[in-house]
DNA sequence: GTGAACCGGGG
DNA sequence: GTGTACGGTTCAC
């Protein structure tokens, strides 16, 4: 099956992992929920005093303790792996353990349970996963309200990742229109008048309380029926992905509020569960179990550099085609006017949903690849900043080599770090005037190259070293061992090697589709490699290091200045430079000198 | 100059 | 949920 999503539920005192998947069976996609009751939460405890620590730990309400060998900045270390009965025991007990006299430090105490599971089992969402067990009808499985078509496995063995093709997923886009004559829509007063649907399998539908000649309009009696019909379409289409534009904070929030007032159940999940909202800081993320809800606004904002991100602007940027638009504050008038105006409103509404489908087809492959590389759920990856992606990638890589993950900085540690910022890139003030014959020298891969060639890493940074065995950074003179390869440099090295391999394959690719797929994959790797520098420079990151960040930018400034000097000898006069590149004008007459 | 407050997308 | 965005700009002093 394709692994779409993961979470856990509590049965009695135990946490049960649920893997949500899909597979094609005779042309129709089936939803699967696989249960794993055999995984326990744990943290690492680095003792001061091994014996005393073991004695003290035994006093606590924990499941079991193991003494295991791990690595700390590449050096072997013996640590306790302390297992708990339930993930919710961890926050309570970890502080107690951290405060014990016999304990030096606790580690990996804040990794969400389902993420820990994916890493430890070597599973990658959006990849093919093999599970072992027999199918139980949803109705025979207590505690689950799933449809009969949903198959529930209780796993008997660990699941396995299979080498996989790019999964063909069913995607449903949606968009709502509201009747809001007074300013922005208020869910307590303004009804939903349309819900538009569009899928990558040919569905085009507007559900509304208004009549229409258009065959794509499905007219129902009440707003209540709009919502009920929406739910039944989702169940019938059974999409793997649901996408919207600003749907985390607008469409789904609004639908949820109206459905609550009208007592319409929003049981959209493949397990029969209702639409849920997760607080993510000050904003929401809308969650449908077993289907991945993606808010394209967040994805687009991350990958496209624009000054505004309205649906119209994004559509224009991606396709160069203007989209029909009715200003938000005029929609109620088009509705009231009826006739041709109402026709336009129907078209506009459907076009919005179809624009979401088009934007999704363009933007989601990259997110899909990042999901398969980073190995965290698509839902999370679609909402993660690139820095977070890099961190979760590194956490998985650290696990693979038994390296302990550094802790997140405390609030005070974070503010100390903020206080002393690493020096930035080199900036040359622009030469005033209108320039012609401009060339741009691209340095975007400079930082990853520096990290690799200078072996810039926490585990290679030393106070002193023998003559010739270290790289010495310009200005501050930080020392990095030339051998062995550091953790982050080797991770970046592997990413870039893999990227080169894919680019070679791309050149040999027989058909267009294959080449496009390889291109997205190598783009995802490039993105990851180029974001890697951030792990040293961003204060709230686990692998933060002022010395590493500082050394990288110092080498960067050194390189860019040297390159500019060299360019000048060839007749290129630099007119502006900032961090990762510089602009120059070509002056032919200067070449003779 | 500094830190607090505000803002995005959506109708 | 082993949780609490984010980064940029403007405002107020």
Strand B: which of residues 330-389 in chain A lie with Cβ below 7 A?
A: 331, 352
Residue whose tokens read 């080169």:
A500
E-state strands within A103-200: 103-107, 128-130, 135-137, 151-154, 160-162, 171-178, 192-199
pLDDT tens-digit profile of A451-470?
Answer: 999 999 999 999 999 999 99
Minimum CA–C1' distance nucleotide for A190: B11
- What percent of chain A has pLDDT above 70? 97
Q: Which H helix or E strand runs over A371?
A: helix A339-374
Higher pLDDT, A97 or A136: A97
DSSP alpha helix (H) spans, A167-266: 223-237, 252-261
The stretch A130-141 carries a mean pLDDT of 80
The stretch A265-273 carries a mean pLDDT of 94
Q: Which residues of A356-371 are buried (b: 16+ CB within 10 A; e: fewer)?
A: bbbbbeebbbbbbbbb
Can you give the pLDDT at residue A380? 96
pLDDT tens-digit profile of A231-264?
Answer: 999 999 999 999 999 999 999 999 999 999 999 9
The conformational region for residue A34 under phi > 0 = left, psi -120 to 50 = alpha, else beta, is beta
Residue A593: is its pLDDT beyond 60?
Answer: no
Minimum CA–C1' distance nucleotide for A40: C2
Residue A133: is its pLDDT beyond 90?
Answer: no
Distance, angstroms, CA A578 to C1' B4? 30
Residues in chain A: 593
Higher pLDDT, A440 or A490: A490
| Domain edges within chain A | 2-37+120-159, 42-112, 171-374, 408-586
Residue A592: is its pLDDT beyond 60?
Answer: no
A114 touches strand C (CB under 7 A): yes
Bases in strand B with any atom closer than 7 Å to a protein CB: 8-11
Q: Nearest to residue A572, comparing CAs of A561, A587, A593?
A: A587
Distance, angstroms, CA A184 to C1' B7? 16
Distance, angstroms, CA A235 to C1' C2? 33
pLDDT tens-digit profile of A199-221?
Answer: 999 999 999 999 999 999 999 99
A438 touches strand B (CB under 7 A): no
Q: With beta carbons less than 8 A apart as the criterion, state whether A525 and A445 touch.
A: no
Minimum CA–C1' distance nucleotide for A253: B10
Spell out the residues 6+ positions from residue A521 whose beta carbon is closer than 8 angstroms to its own: A369, A502
A183 touches strand B (CB under 7 A): yes
Residue A181: is its pLDDT beyond 70?
Answer: yes
A245 touches strand B (CB under 7 A): yes
How does residue A274 score in pLDDT terms, banded at 50, 70 and 90? very high
Can you give the pLDDT at residue A254? 96
Residue nearest to nucleotide C8 (CA to C1'): A307
Question: Which residues, listed in sequence order, are joined to residue A129 by a DSSP beta bridge?
Answer: A161
Can you give the pLDDT at residue A577? 81
CATH class of the domain defined by A171-374: alpha beta
E-state strands within A234-388: 241-244, 276-280, 283-287, 292-295
Residue whose tokens read 């459907």:
A350
Can you give the pLDDT at residue A134? 82
Mean pLDDT in chain A?
A: 92
Distance, angstroms, CA A9 to C1' C5? 26
The stretch A390-412 carries a mean pLDDT of 93
Spell out the residues 6+ positions from residue A490 whose beta carbon is closer than 8 angstroms to its own: none
Residue A489: is its pLDDT beyond 90?
Answer: yes
Residue A589: is its pLDDT beyond 70?
Answer: no
Cα-based angle A110, A114, A117 (whole degrees, multiple of 5): 95
Residue A106: is its pLDDT beyond 90?
Answer: yes
Architecture of domain A408-586: Alpha-Beta Complex (3.90)
pLDDT tens-digit profile of A422-453?
Answer: 677 787 877 888 888 888 877 668 889 999 99
Distance, angstroms, CA A308 to C1' C9? 14
DSSP string covering A430-479, please? Answer: PPSS---SEEEEE-TTHHHHHHHHTT--TTTEES---TTSEEE-TTT--E
Spell out the residues 6+ positions from residue A303 whose beta carbon is closer than 8 angstroms to its own: A363, A366
CATH code, residues A42-112: 3.30.342.10
C-alpha A197/C-alpha A531 separation (Å) is: 36
pTM: 0.94
Domains A42-112 and A408-586 share a fold: no
Minimum CA–C1' distance nucleotide for A283: C5
Minimum CA–C1' distance nucleotide for A325: B11
pLDDT tens-digit profile of A341-385?
Answer: 999 999 999 999 999 999 999 999 999 999 999 999 999 999 998
Distance, angstroms, CA A566 to C1' C9? 38
How does residue A143 score in pLDDT terms, banded at 50, 70 and 90? low
A63 touches strand C (CB under 7 A): no
Minimum CA–C1' distance nucleotide for A42: C2
């Amino acid at each position: 099956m394709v692994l779409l999503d993961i979470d856990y539920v509590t049965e009695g005192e135990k946490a049960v992992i649920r893997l949500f998947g899909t597979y094609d069976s005779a042309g129709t996609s089936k939803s699967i929920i696989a249960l794993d009751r055999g995984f326990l939460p744990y943290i690492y405890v680095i003792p001061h005093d091994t014996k005393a620590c073991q004695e003290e730990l035994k006093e606590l309400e924990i499941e079991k303790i193991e003494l295991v060998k791990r690595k700390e900045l590449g050096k072997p270390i013996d640590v306790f792996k302390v297992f708990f009965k339930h993930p919710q025991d961890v926050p309570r007990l970890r502080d107690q353990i951290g405060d014990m006299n016999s304990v030096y430090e606790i580690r990996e105490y804040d990794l969400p349970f389902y993420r820990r599971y994916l890493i430890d089992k070597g599973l990658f969402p959006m990849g093919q996963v093999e599970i072992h067990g027999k199918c139980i009808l949803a109705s025979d499985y207590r505690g689950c309200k799933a449809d009969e078509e949903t198959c529930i496995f209780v796993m008997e063995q660990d699941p396995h990742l299979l080498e996989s093709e790019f999964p063909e997923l069913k995607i449903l886009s949606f968009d709502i229109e509201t009747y809001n004559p007074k300013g922005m829509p208020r869910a307590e007063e303004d009804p939903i008048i349309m819900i538009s649907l569009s899928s990558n399998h040919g569905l085009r539908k507007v559900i509304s309380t208004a009549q229409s000649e258009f065959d794509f309009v499905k007219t129902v009696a009440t707003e209540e029926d709009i919502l009920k019909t929406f739910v039944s379409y989702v169940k019938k289409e059974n999409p793997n992905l649901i996408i919207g534009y600003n749907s985390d904070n607008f469409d789904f929030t609004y639908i949820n509020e109206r459905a609550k007032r009208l007592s319409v159940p929003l049981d959209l999940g493949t397990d029969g569960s209702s639409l849920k909202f997760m607080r993510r800081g000050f904003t929401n993320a809308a969650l449908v179990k077993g289907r991945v809800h993606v808010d394209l606004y967040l994805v687009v904002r991350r990958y496209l550099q624009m000054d505004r991100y309205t649906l119209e602007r994004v559509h224009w940027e991606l396709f160069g085609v203007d989209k029909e638009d009715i200003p938000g504050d005029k929609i109620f008038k088009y509705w009231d006017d009826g006739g041709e105006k109402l026709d336009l409103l129907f078209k506009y509404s459907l076009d919005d949903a179809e624009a979401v489908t088009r934007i999704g087809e363009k933007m989601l492959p990259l997110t899909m690849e990042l999901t398969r590389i980073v190995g965290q759920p698509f839902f999370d990856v679609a909402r993660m900043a690139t820095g977070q992606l890099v961190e979760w990638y590194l956490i998985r890589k650290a696990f693979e080599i038994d390296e302990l993950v550094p802790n997140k900085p405390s609030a005070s540690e974070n503010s100390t770090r903020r206080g002393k910022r690493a020096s930035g890139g080199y900036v040359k003030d622009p030469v005033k005037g209108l320039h012609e014959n401009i060339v741009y020298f691209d340095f975007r891969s400079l930082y990853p190259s520096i990290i690799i060639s200078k072996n810039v890493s926490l585990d290679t940074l030393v106070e002193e070293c023998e003559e010739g065995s270290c790289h010495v950074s310009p200005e501050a003179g930080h020392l990095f061992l030339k051998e062995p390869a550091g953790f982050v440099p080797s991770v970046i090295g592997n990413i870039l090697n893999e990227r080169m391999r894919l680019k070679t394959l791309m050149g040999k690719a027989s058909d267009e589709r294959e080449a496009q797929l390889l291109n997205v994959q190598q783009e995802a790797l490039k993105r990851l490699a180029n974001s890697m520098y951030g792990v040293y420079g961003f204060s709230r990151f686990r692998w933060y290091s002022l010395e590493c960040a500082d050394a990288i930018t110092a080498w960067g400034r050194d390189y860019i200045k040297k390159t500019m000097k060299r360019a000048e000898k060839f007749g290129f006069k630099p007119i502006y430079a900032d961090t990762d590149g510089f602009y120059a004008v070509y002056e032919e007459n200067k070449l003779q000198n």
